Structures are given as C-alpha cells and as structure tokens.
Amino acid sequence: MGAHDTEIEVLADAARAALVREIDADGAWDADPVWREAFAAVPRHLFVPYYYVAGPRGYERRWGENPDLEARERWVRGAYADEPLATRLRDGRLLSSSSQPSLMARMLVALRVRDGDRVLEVGAGTGYNAALLAHRLGADDLVTTIDLEPEITESARQHLAAAGFRPVVVTGDGARGAPERAPFDRIIATCELPTVPRAWLAQCRPGARVLTPLATGLLALSVRDAEHAEGRFLPRAAFFVPLRGEGGAEPESVCLAGLPGRAREQEPFRFLLALARGTLDPREAYALWEREGEPGRGRYGVTVAGEHTWAWLDDPEGPYAWPLP
C-alpha cells in the first residue's frame, strides 16, 4: 500500500467515525445500540467505489481510483456523508443507490433483528446494508439479498467480498422473494413497492417482521401466517427507488390544482393521497385529512388478509380504509 493509499484509509477511518457520531446525535439507534458497532466496523467506501453527485451540468462522477489525490479525498469524504448516493444511472434515470446511512440505521433498528434470525433483503444495492446485517448477525449464511439486475448483484457480491462478507446474493425478482432460502424471520426492502407481495408472507415464519417502503412511508408488518399480516407505518418519510420487476409500478402523477396551497405543501397530506390513490380524489383526501386532525404517517397502517390488502387510518376495522393492489 502506497503513502497516498494509506492517507485515504486514514481519512476513511476518521470520516466513518464522524458519521457514527452524527448518527449517534440523531438518536437513530437509541433503541438498539448494537447497530452502532456495525456502522463503526463496516467500511462504506468499499461499497461505493464510484458514485454520482448532481451538479449544474448534470451528474459528476466521483471514484476511488481517480489519479488526482484531492479528487479521491472528495470521494471518500462523500462516501461517509449522511446522504443517499446515486450509484447507477441509465439514460439519466436512477437505477440504484446507497441509502442515507441514518435512515438505514432507523430501518435496521425498526426491523428488530434477533440473534439467529434469517433475513431477506429485497434490493441488493451496493451490498452495504447486507454487510451491516451480516456483521450484526455474525453469520453470512443468515443473510440473503436479492436484486433483479445481474450487474447490480455481481457488483454487490464483489463489494461484499472486498469488505470480508459473503452473504447469499441472488439475482431475481424481489417481489417473488427467495423461496429456496426460506423460511425467513425478517424481510427488509430497500426499494419502493405498491403493495405487500403475498410471496413474502408465504416465505416467513409465524411471528416474522416485514419492513418495506410503501407510498413514501415505511411499513412495519407482523406476520401471523402465510395469509395474514398487519402493522403500522413508522412516523418518518422515506423515499426509495421503485422496485423493478412484476411487483413494481410506475409512479403516477396527481393533479393538485384547485387545492389550498397549504395542502400542496404538506407532505403528510401527500402521503394520504398516495396511500388512497384510486379510492379518494385529491379534494376528498384533503377534506378527510383536515377533518381528522391532519394525521401523520404513524396513524396509518396496512392489513393483509387472504386475497385482500387494505390501508387504514387509526383502526383496521374503522371507517377509513382503502384497498391496495
């Protein structure tokens, strides 16, 4: 290792420690501080050998093999910023990213992983999240990560090996799960879906927990059996790249013209609009949201029962419920 490489590694260690302190201050893992050790140990820069930063002239590519030392230093500092990083583009469209670390920390805490759990991650990304899970569980074989794109799974596999981890990496449609690796105690998705895939529940043990992005929120479900699950959304917003494959869906545009400016600006209202799309028009949604005290995400939930899935406000048996696909 040359002097410049040593300098980069020292900078990476310092930047990683600073990121851990920043997440500490945010209180992301107060409920399960074991994750602090995982974030302190797993080198994020090995999972983002290059990434893209939006600028006035489009995306700037930062990469770890840049011959310019100052450029490499910018790359490693950016790798440990508490920000999402665009890692794969196609025709200007984002295909894959490394999520914001503090959001990842909150999701992993909310997953409530226990020693010995078998975990499926849907959306392999860079492999960084799978590495954090493998470090926490202390056994690579307990972690399976899946993605539709072969180039994404291959690069994730390479990143994981470089960092000393070898969880099972599968190429396939994440909405179908990974039946050959089931049963699972935990499923976590790092891409947005329009509904809860039935295949996931069928691959879960009773009592399993599922955490998935849905309608710009994070839904935490408790699985009763292969046909039934129920849970609520976490309070915070979360925005992810949509799942590709049969379970994915293209985002729809909604016209908010004619609503008060305040409604157009209130992100919690837009969450209700996304959750009840196809059932409530924007005016009906706004009237409901205002009448019920402007509810935030934590008051909404989802129930899966047989062939039916519905979202609800406050109570799954209450008056406000909307079918999901």
Coil, strand, or helix at residue 153? Answer: helix
Task: Tell me whether residue 96 is one of the annotated catalytic residues.
Answer: yes
Coil, strand, or helix at residue 146? Answer: strand
DSSP state of 91: T
- Alpha-carbon distance of 69 to 107, in angstroms, equals 35
E-state strands within the chain: 50-55, 58-63, 85-90, 93-98, 119-122, 143-147, 168-171, 184-189, 204-214, 217-225, 228-233, 300-305, 308-313, 321-323
- Asked if residue 159 lies in contact with residue 133, where contact means CB atoms within 8 angstroms, the answer is no
Q: Point out the catalytic residue in the list 96, 97, 102, 155.
A: 96
| Tokens 């899970």, residue located | 133
Residue 24, CA distances (Å) to 29, 67, 84, 175, 272 in order: 7, 34, 18, 33, 31
What residues are annotated to the active site? 96
